[in-house]
Structure 1
Amino acid sequence: MMANNISGKKVAFLLTNGVEQAELTEPWKAVQEAGGQPVLVSPEEGQITAMKGDWEYGDTFTVDQQLSQAKADDFDAIVLPGGTLNADKMRLESEAVALVRAFAEAGKPISAICHAPWLLIEADLVKGRHMTSYASLESDLKNAGANWVDEEVVTDRGLTTSRNPGDLKAFCSKMLEEISEGQHSEV
C-alpha cells in the first residue's frame, strides 16, 4: 500500500461529529505513512467525536481547520470519510458541497467511503460515474445518475469510492495511488 509516495502533498479530510472512526483513522494513517500531510477540516470548532458503527461513541479528534476557511487551492486532494451521522450532516452543509465541487472543478483527487457519496450526490458529481458505496446508497446513487457496482473500491477519473470499513485496505491503496498521480483533467 505504501508504494505511492505523496511527500509534500496536503490532504483535506472533511468531516464532522459522527464520522466512522476507522474511515477517518486508517486513511489518515495511510496518508501520513506515505509522506503526506492530513488536515482535519470541519464545520465544528475544537474537536469532533467519532463513532464506531452508528451506536457506539469513539474517540475525539482535534479540528485543524474550519470549513469556512478551507479552499481547494490549499490542498492536493480531499478524503470524505463516512458514518451515517457524519455523511447526513455534511451533505446539508453548503460550504462542504461547494468545497467538494471546487476540488472536482480543479481536477483534484476525491476519495469517499461508505455513506460519504451522499455529499457527492449533493454536489452533482455522480452522473455518469462508475461508483460504489455502502449498500443502502445504491438507489440514491443510481437515481442521481451513477453506475453503481458492488465492489470494494472503484475509481473513475480521479474519484475513488469504497463500500465500508471492511474495504479500507483497498480504499487506502487506491486513494494513495490517485493522490500520487495528482490532478486529473476532470474529476
Structure 2
Amino acid sequence: MLSFVGKRLINTSLGYRYYSSKMTKSVLVPIADGFEEIEAITIIDVLKRAGANVTVASITGKNQVKGAHGVQITTDDLFSNIKNNSFDLISLPGGYDNATSLGNCAELVELLKKQKSENKWYTAICASPALVFAKNGLLNDKAVCYPAGPLNELVGSKLNSEARVLVDKNCVTSKGPGTSMEFSLELVSLLFGEEKKNKLIGEMIVKF
C-alpha cells in the first residue's frame, strides 16, 4: 500500500518500514567522478551523525574523486576492496557522470541485486534511480528521480512525479540536490527509527 507521509511516499505493504534492533548499522556510499557534492556529503554526514558506520568507496580505482562542481574528496576505500562486504544500506548519490559510471559498474550492480534479493535497503537520488536502478532492472513498483526527460523515460511507467522521497519496499529514491536532507533523514528513520530522525532534525535546525 502506497501512502503519503508529508511529501514522502511510502509503500508499507510488506512491512519494510520497520527498522531492525541491530544497533550498529553499516552503510556503503559508492562514488565516481562527477558525483553531486550536496547529495553525497549530506548522505554521508547525516548518517554519520545518526551513528552509522559509513564507508565511502571509489569505483574509479583511485581514492581521490572529483565532484560535478570541482570539489575533491578522499574516499575511505576502493570499491574493489570491499565489494564482498555486507551492508545494511547502500546509498547512491547522483550527478550524471557519476550515475552513469555507477550504472556501468558490473560488480556494484551485482551487489545491489544481492541487496535487493536479501530485502536490505538500497537507495539512490537524482540521476541514479534512472541510470543505475532503472537501467539494471532494480526498481520495485514506483520511483522518483531528477525531473529530466531522458531520466524520466528510463524510469517509465514506474515514475511518480509528486513525491520528493519515495520508499517502495526496500528501495528508496529521491529527486535531487534540494531533497538531499529529506532523503538522508528518511534513511536515518529507516535504519534507526523516527526518534533518532526527529532528534537530528532538532539538532540541525531542519525545517521543511
TM-score, structure 1 normalization = 0.83
Aligned to 2:70: 57
Matched, 1:39 2:55: yes
Cα shift at 1:178: 1.9
2:180 alignment counterpart:
168
Cα 1:72–1:152 shift into 2, 3 Å: farther
1:14 corresponds in structure 2 to 30
Shift of 1:97: 1.1
Output one character per residue of 1:125-175: Cα deviation in whole Å (capped at 9) or x when no partner. 12x521100012211101xx5243332111000211110111122111211
Tell me by how many angstroms 1:92 deviates: 1.1
Gap runs ≥5 in structure 2:
1-18, 194-208
Work out the CA distance in 1 between the residues paired with 2:122 and 2:25. 14
Residue 45 of structure 2 is matched in structure 1 by 29
Partner of 1:112: 124
8 Å CA contact 1:98, 1:123 repeated in 2? no
The one-letter amino acid of 1:158's match is N
Query: Identity rate of aligned residues, in percent?
Result: 24
Q: Is the 8 A contact 1:10 1:36 kept in 2?
A: yes
Tell me the TM-score normalized by structure 2. 0.75
Unaligned runs of 5+ in 1: 182-187
Could you say what secondary structure the match of 2:67 adopts?
Answer: strand
Secondary structure, aligned partner of 1:74: coil
Q: Secondary structure at the match of 1:133?
A: coil
Which of structures 1 and 2 has the bigger CA Rg?
2
Which residue of structure 2 aligns with residue 185 of structure 1?
none
- Deviation at 1:84? 0.7
Partners of 2:99 and 2:177 in 1: how far apart? 15
Matched length: 170
Distance in 1 (CA, whole Å) between partners of 2:184 and 2:122 is 12
Q: 1:6 to 1:176 in 2, by over 3 A?
A: farther
Partner SS, residue 110 of structure 1: strand
After TM superposition, the structure 1 = structure 2 runs for residues 50-89 of structure 1, keeping only pairs within 5 Å, are: 50-51=67-68, 56-58=69-71, 60-71=72-83, 73-89=85-101
User: CA 1:9/1:22 → structure 2, altered by over 3 Å: closer, same or farther?
Assistant: same
Per-residue deviation, 1:72: 6.1
Q: Corresponding residue for 2:154?
A: 140
Correspondence list, 1:153-164, <5 A: 153-164=165-176
